[in-house]
Amino acid sequence: MKYTEIPYVKNPVSRILYGTAMPPFQTGEDGGALLDAVFALGVTAIDTARVYGDSEKVIGRWLETRENRDQVVLLSKCAHPLPDGTKRVEETAIREDFKTSSENLRTDYIDIYLLHRDDTSVPAREIVEIMNALHAEGKIGAFGGSNWTHRRVEEANEYAYKHAMIPFTVSSPNFGLAEQVKDLWGGGCVSIAGPSGAEGRRFYEENGMPVIAYSSLGRGLFSGKVKSSEPEHADIAMDEFALKGYAYPDNFERLRRCEILAAKKGCSVPQIAMAWLFGQKVNTFAVVSTTKPERMRENIAALDIALTQEELAYLDLR
């Protein structure tokens, strides 16, 4: 595993975060054995959110029984809209979410705290002030936005810099080899993948801000189970949201090229897709969800697979 410092986070952060938006975490079952396994592999950062069912509770029980809170980097998210679309990017909701999350996680601080969606009707300055207050109170370390556009991140940080405040130091958009053609869940999913994400990528390349990429393997597209020659059977590994966002001809062509390179290099399709991600100039951390520790071991090994610039361009249809 490789680790990198993120400003305002006490411990080095593993380049791969374990994503818990899946059973057994969301359903509140015992995920201790899985957490033990990925932690033993060196994945010391865990991604969760207030809206991921009982995920935080499962993680909290694990942290308490293993007594390893000081060795783990916790990332959680707040202020997600209600099911009816009501937006919650305001101080009362953010503080209520933090209180619930900290109780569930059985900790008094969260290392990385993200606003799960944006509300562009709220001035960025107000959000910066709220998050700075939480940081000053010792409740959170680094903070930023999940599914925030780079323009809004820039707006927030301009205000922070002008007023000697802590800026957003992390961002979590979709990023991976597959282009997110359509918004998976609605409500403002943001991607910096594909041709349409070029401006966002340049922004993160230029300022070096850590990007915590979600759905970096196309939510099953690059799992190795989907075959480029059988796109009609993609639902073997892709749910309805993944199909909506990623099941398009250009992405199946990217998959075909992954298959070719994987065979050439003697590795797996997901390893090639992961190697592509870490071969980009963006300062990337990848959120990976799996119930099989051996798959996580393969993802970690992909950190050491070097692709040439020609191979990186070839995979991305350039």
Cα 141 from Cα 6, distance rounded (Å): 10
> What pLDDT score was predicted for residue 7?
97
The CATH number that applies at residue 105 is 3.20.20.100
Cα 247 from Cα 286, distance rounded (Å): 21
Q: Is residue 19 part of a domain?
A: yes
- Indicate whether 43 pLDDT > 80: yes
Contacts of 8 (CB under 8 A, 6+ apart): 135, 141, 142, 143, 166, 169
Q: Is residue 125 part of a domain?
A: yes
Q: Is residue 263 part of a domain?
A: no
> What pLDDT score was predicted for residue 185?
82
CA 191, 197, 202: angle at the middle one, nearest 5?
115
Q: Is residue 317 part of a domain?
A: no
CA atoms within 13 A on the CB side of 213: 30
Cα 189 from Cα 180, distance rounded (Å): 9
Q: Is residue 257 part of a domain?
A: no
SS3 percent helix, strand, coil of the chain, rounded to 5, is 45, 15, 40
Q: Is residue 269 part of a domain?
A: no
> What pLDDT score was predicted for residue 174?
96
- Its pTM stands at 0.95
The whole-number average pLDDT for the span 289-309 is: 96
Peptide bond preceding 270 in cis form (omega within 30 of 0): no
- Tens digits of residue pLDDT in 52-107: 999 999 999 999 999 999 999 999 999 999 988 899 999 999 999 999 999 999 99
Domain carrying residue 77 = 3-223+274-305
- Tens digits of residue pLDDT in 171-226: 999 999 999 999 888 778 999 999 999 999 999 999 999 999 999 999 999 999 99
Q: Write the CA distances from 176 to 100, 172, 261, 280, integer angstroms.
A: 31, 12, 17, 10
Q: Is residue 264 part of a domain?
A: no
> What pLDDT score was predicted for residue 184?
85
Q: Which of 195, 177, 306 is nearest to 254 (CA)?
A: 177
> What pLDDT score was predicted for residue 19?
97
> What pLDDT score was predicted for residue 85?
87
Q: How confident is the model at residue 126 (pLDDT cuts 50, 70, 90)?
A: very high
Q: How many distinct structural domains can be found in the chain?
A: 1
> What pLDDT score was predicted for residue 186?
76
Q: Is residue 44 part of a domain?
A: yes
> What pLDDT score was predicted for residue 95?
98
Cα 298 from Cα 136, distance rounded (Å): 39
Residue 281: CB atoms within 10 A of its CB come to 11
What three-state secondary structure class fits 184? coil
- Percentage of the chain surpassing pLDDT 90? 97
